[in-house]
Amino acid sequence: MRSDTVRRELLDGTRTIIPLVLAALPIGFVFGTVAAGNGLSPLETVLMSALVFAGGSQFVAMDLWTHPASWSALGLAALLVNLRHILMGASLERSLGLFRPWQKLPTLLVMADENWALAEARARQKPLTPAFYLGLALPFYCGWVLASLGGALFGTLLGDVAVYGLDFAFPAVFIVLLMGFWKGRETGLILIASAVASLTVHSLVPGAWYIAAGALAGLVVAVAAPGLREIRA
């Protein structure tokens, strides 16, 4: 690929992800604040964001954080929260035809809900290139790590961040991502199944099992939807 094409693809990816980077900054800031409140140093907070790079599991880890930390409980919680990445990775892998084998593993390692959704949207329109994906992933990764550092350093100065409404940024981002995949009634059925399963398991089973339940329920409905449509026809 020519250098000017690579540069254009990189800039296109960056321009595409910037709105979601800005939306995710408050979430990273809140995480850094919560981590500092649980006794993590700024360095430990940055390392967690840089090495784990999974907002949902990081927040769950903070909910379960004790002194000393129970690594088995934290590991199981992270596994449950990130089970969806198996499905996301399998979906994204179909769009990596232009990626060399050595580029695929780093692509999946820095995959987050936001850059996955935008990469999938791009792949529907034209082939997904490594440069475009780098433009998506690098700003989002750096923004998350720096926002976590900012929260760890300055979050305590703001007191309870909930009064500023920053905690709403998390669901707001996911609502936007969901609407980008809206395909009508079938999408609504998948979301309803996921929500019902998640809320039911959350009320009955302790821990993060409700996340896996929601993902599995949505997957079952998504697989069954074409068959139901054929039966109705």
CA gap 190, 132 in Å, rounded? 29
Backbone φ and ψ for 88, nearest 5 degrees, come out as -65, -40
Provide the 10 A C-beta neighbour count for residue 221: 19
Sorted by sequence, the CB contacts under 8 Å of residue 180 that are 6+ apart come out as: 117, 121
Degrees, nearest 5: CA angle 28-71-113? 35
Provide the 10 A C-beta neighbour count for residue 136: 31
DSSP string, 18-34: HHHHHHHHHHHHHHHHH
Structural domain boundaries of the chain? 3-166, 182-233
CA gap 178, 173 in Å, rounded? 9
Digit-by-digit pLDDT tens for the chain (233 residues) are 678 888 999 999 999 999 889 888 988 998 999 899 888 999 999 999 999 898 888 888 887 776 666 677 777 777 777 777 888 888 888 899 899 999 999 998 899 988 998 999 899 889 999 999 999 999 999 999 999 999 999 887 776 666 666 666 667 666 766 666 667 777 778 888 888 988 898 899 876 677 778 878 877 887 776 654 544 44
User: CA gyration radius for the chain?
Assistant: 19
Q: Is the peptide bond before 171 cis (omega within 30 degrees of 0)?
A: no
CA gap 191, 217 in Å, rounded? 9
Sorted by sequence, the CB contacts under 8 Å of residue 218 that are 6+ apart come out as: 190, 191, 193, 194, 197
